[in-house]
Amino acid sequence: MARPARQVDVTALVDGIRSGRRADVSRAITLVESSRAEHRAAARDLLTQLATFDLPPATRVGISGVPGVGKSTFIESLGTRLTAAGHRVGVLAVDPSSVRTGGSVLGDKTRMAALSVDPRAFIRPSPSAGTLGGVARATTQAMLVLEAAGHDVVLVETVGVGQSEVTVAGMVDTFLFLTIARTGDQLQGIKKGILEIADVVAVNKADAQGGDHEGEARVAARELAGALRLVRGHAEWAPPVVTCSGLTGAGVDDVWDRVGAHRDHLGADGLAHKRAGQQLEFTWALVRDELDQRLRSSPGVASVRDDVRRAVLSGDLPAPLAADRILAAYDGDST
C-alpha cells in the first residue's frame, strides 16, 4: 500500500528561506519544479508568502552560448569574483531533460567545483521539464526563491540550443551571449535571433593555446560588432562586444561592468517596466503550462489517446483531425 504524500509545511519553508538555510532553499526549488498537483498548490502558497517581503531587485542575468563555448568555466570565474566582492550568487542552469526521468543530465556542480562549495553561492541544475512552459514556470519561480533567500545576483545558464534562449531572455534583466573565435567565417553558425536579443556579447577563450587566439578573438569581436549594427540598426542600446577568458579570468570583470552599464541604461523605471512586462508574459506561460498539465491528466483524452495514436501512425487520421478529436475529448470532460 502506497504511503500518503507528506504535507508540505509552507510556513516553515518560508522561514527557512528567509534565514538562508540551504536545505530549505533546495527543497523550495524542488517544490516549484514539481508537476504534482498538490506540490503546485503548495508552490503557489509559498510564492504568495514570499511576495509579501519587500526586497531590492536582484540582478538577473541570462547567459547563453553554444555547447563548448565555456559557459560553466566563465560562470565559475565570474561567480567567484562576485562572491569575493560581497555578493551572494545564485546559479540556475537550464539543462535538457532526461527522456526517462525528466531530471537534469548535465552536472553543473561538477563543472563548477570551486563555486559549488562557496558558502555565498548556490548552484542548481534545473531540468527543462520537456516544455518551454516548464522552463518559464520552474526557473522564474526558482529565481524568486533565491532572491528571497538573499541572493542579489542570479545567473541563468541556458543549454544554448533551440528556443530556450528566447525564453530565458524573457525572464532576466540582461542577456549575455558567449561565443568563441572560429576559423574561417567568424559568424558561421551564430543565429540572427541571438543577436537580436543579446544585450552584451563576449568572445570567450581568448586564452586558447596555439596560434594567435587573442588576435582571433579581437577579429571575431569586430565582426560581431559589425553584424550587430546591421541587425539592431540604431537601437537605443548598442550591445557591446568584448573579449574574455573564463579560464584565466582576463576580461571577466570588463564583461560584468558591461552588464552593469546595461542595467544603468535601463534605470529604475526601465527595469520596473521590463519586469512588469515579464510578469505578464509569465502569467500566460503559467496558463499554458497548466493547460498542458490538465490535457495530460484528462480522462477524456486518456480514453481516445491510444486510438488516435494508432490512426495517426497508420496514416488513417490526418494530424489536424487528430488534434480536433483530442480537443473534443478534453472539452467533453466538463460537459
Looking at every residue in the chain, the average pLDDT score rounds to: 83
**CA–CA distance, 165 with 157 (Å, rounded to integer):** 9
Instruction: Name the percent of the chain lying above pLDDT 70.
Output: 82
Going by C-beta distance under 8 Å and a sequence separation of 6 or more, which residues neighbour residue 47?
32, 141, 144
Chain centroid offset of residue 42 CA: 22
Every domain of the chain and the residues it spans: 1-54, 55-266, 298-333
Phi-psi sector, 205: left (phi>0), alpha (psi -120 to 50), beta: left
Mean pLDDT, rounded, for 214-222: 79
Instruction: Name the percent of the chain lying above pLDDT 90.
Output: 45
CATH code 1.20.5.170 for 1-54: yes
- What kind and span of H or E run contains 60? strand 59-64
DSSP one-letter string for 83-138: HHTT--EEEEEEEPBPTTT-SB-S-HHHHSHHHHT-TTEEEEEEE-TTSHHHHHHH
Tell me: pLDDT of 187 over 80: no
Each residue of 8-34: pLDDT tens digit?
A: 889 999 999 999 899 999 999 999 888
Each residue of 111-141: pLDDT tens digit?
A: 788 898 999 999 987 655 555 555 667 888 8
Each residue of 258-310: pLDDT tens digit?
A: 999 999 999 999 999 999 999 898 888 888 888 888 898 899 999 999 999 99
Strand-pair category, 241-243 with 153-157: unpaired
C-alpha cell at 141: 519561480
Going by C-beta distance under 8 Å and a sequence separation of 6 or more, which residues neighbour residue 239?
195, 198, 199, 200, 201, 228, 232
- For the four alpha carbons of 219, 225, 226 and 231, in that order, the dihedral sign comes to positive
Query: Facing residues of 174 across strands?
Result: 61
pTM: 0.85
Residue 235 CA: distances (Å) to CA of 40, 229, 239, 270, 275:
40, 9, 9, 15, 20
Tell me: pLDDT of 145 over 80: yes
Tell me: pLDDT of 329 over 90: yes
What kind of fold does domain 55-266 have according to CATH?
Answer: Rossmann fold (3.40.50)
